[in-house]
Amino acid sequence: MHLNPYGADAVLLAVNLVTRPATTPEELAERCEENGVDSWLVRERRVTAADLAAVNVAIEEWLQVVDAEDEQTRVDLVNAMLAKYTEHPRLTNHAGDGWHMHYRPHNVPVGRLVATLISTGTALHLAGRGITRLGRCATEGCDNVYADLSRTGRQRYCSPTCANRDAVRRHRARAS
């Protein structure tokens, strides 16, 4: 079975790269592997400084999607990323690991690969789970981003730590 790299893992990769920005090509390769990108894709192609720069541009564009003020703006920004980074979908069995979809040519630089994964994964995430399923943490003083993968679609915090911190703050405010 071939897992879909364009799903939640790609959105979580974007969150990871915003939360802990990669500062070297090696760190970018590590983050990609930590978030489900096949190691042969990033190691065999040797991540370069140009790849890191391209991913940083894509992450800045992705943050505009996260911070969009309304649904239509969010959709327009995702569509712009899709137009920039993806191509028509195609079936492939390039590694002999089974037929699966790609939204990019076979041999692209790692920077373009990551941008394609993030833009397509974000579009699938928002279309499949809900257009509001990206945001910034609701805890005062925390600006971290989150991708809402919850069953209910009501996530407001980047982590359980921030959720607990905000709950304690609200409890103390009521108690005083």
Q: What's the CA gap between 81 and 97, in Å, rounded? A: 28
pLDDT of residue 12: 95
> All domains of the chain, ordered by start, with CATH?
8-132 (1.10.3300.10)
Q: Is 80 exceeded by the pLDDT of residue 126?
A: yes
**Number of neighbours of residue 129 by Cβ within 10 angstroms:** 18
Q: Is 90 exceeded by the pLDDT of residue 45?
A: no
Least confident of 66-80, 103-117, 153-167: 103-117
Mean pLDDT of all residues in 24-47: 85
Least confident of 7-21, 34-48, 133-147: 34-48
Angle at 122 between CA 27 and CA 155, to 5 degrees: 95
pLDDT of residue 8: 87
Angle at 113 between CA 48 and CA 73, to 5 degrees: 120
Q: What's the CA gap between 135 and 67, in Å, rounded? A: 7
Three-class DSSP category at 86:
coil
154 and 145 Cβ atoms separated by less than 8 Å: no
pLDDT of residue 1: 34
Q: Is 80 exceeded by the pLDDT of residue 33?
A: yes
**What's the sign of the alpha-carbon dihedral 91, 147, 80, 18?**
negative
Amino acid of residue 70: D
